[in-house]
Amino acid sequence: MTATRSAHSSFPVQARPIVADLFQPKPLLYWLDFAVSLLIAYGFAAIYLQSPLFSLQQWISWPIAAIALYRVASFMHEIVHFRSGEMRRFRIVWDLLAGIPMLTPSFFYESHNDHHNARHYGTHQDGEYLPLGTGPLRHIGIFLFQILLQPIFITLRFLLTPLTFLHPRLRRWTLERASSFVIDFRYRRKISAHAPLRAWAFMDLACSLRAWAIFVLCVVGINDWSRVPLLYALAALSLGLNHLRTLAAHRYLSQGHAVSHETQVFDSTNVTGVPVLTELLFPLGMRYHGLHHLFPRMPYHNLGIAHRRLMEALPSDSPYRDTVYPSWFSVVRELVYHSAQHSIATKGRRTSVLSETVS
């Protein structure tokens, strides 16, 4: 037990020198990746929306557009990890060209910092975590069902944005309870006294205009009403990819208590898999989620290099190796197994209690 604890506690100290030169982002790479991804996303989205309904061209362009939009949206994850003032222009341009048009403003994801806080990770203060591995199987099904509802909720949220400014309390409630991209809807965002409320209001209202434009353009006859379900299908597929990726980002074995940074890493995963296919489901280095939780400031383009270095340099018994999985399926299979075992154990306890009561 002592040896295991020592290995766990010394692991980050061992790892950092190995990757110490990999924390500097390459702005040019960010700009090029973003520009190319955006061109592909909007280009194929235009083809998808303008193609004859149910045509082969539309069926082909739909997943390509969704995958590219998913990659573009994933830059939001990088943005929230930038240091104060770092790559400020990139963040502004991303919000103007992607965040607002796609109804995914970057300030909606700043709650992500709670997910990396060791005091909050896996607790009710972490909106990006659900104890799926220690709960009944139906919770995994409910989690996946969110894919169908999320585009509707997000659109309604921005359609109603102007009403949130009618009263300060209503606005604050909206920022705390309905302005974060989370999977645990009980999450309550804490608003700092130094929060850029004016910038948030600008992005919020801009997204509202975008949401209203979808329907107004149909009302005035510029777009056909078929545009609405087509946009829903595009958003659902893109968000669905992120939900599937999220399902394999952690083991989800937390019991709701605060844990150490090391435990947070060990509850996360690094997925290897087939490079091309894995990159489509885990864009921008998200396959190395355990490594990301170890070093949240490391830019996405260096995660693969860092992972290979650690696998070569760390001892064969290093706990880091336990975070590595060969595929998305292997992570989800283990998650379902833990959930099923929990359901069996819970059922067994209920049966035992019932038997004692009858006796």
Cα(195)–Cα(293) distance, integer angstroms: 25
> In the prediction, which pLDDT does 355 show?
46
Continuous H helices in the chain: 2-15, 27-50, 56-79, 88-94, 112-116, 137-159, 168-177, 197-219, 227-247, 261-266, 275-281, 289-294, 300-313, 328-358
What average pLDDT does range 265-283 have in this prediction? Answer: 92
Q: Confidence band (pLDDT; 50, 70, 90) for 7?
A: very low
SS3 120: coil
| Percentage of the chain exceeding pLDDT 90 | 82
pTM as predicted = 0.93
Q: Is the pLDDT of residue 1 over 70?
A: no
> In the prediction, which pLDDT does 96 show?
98
Q: Is the pLDDT of residue 359 over 70?
A: no
Cα(62)–Cα(115) distance, integer angstroms: 32
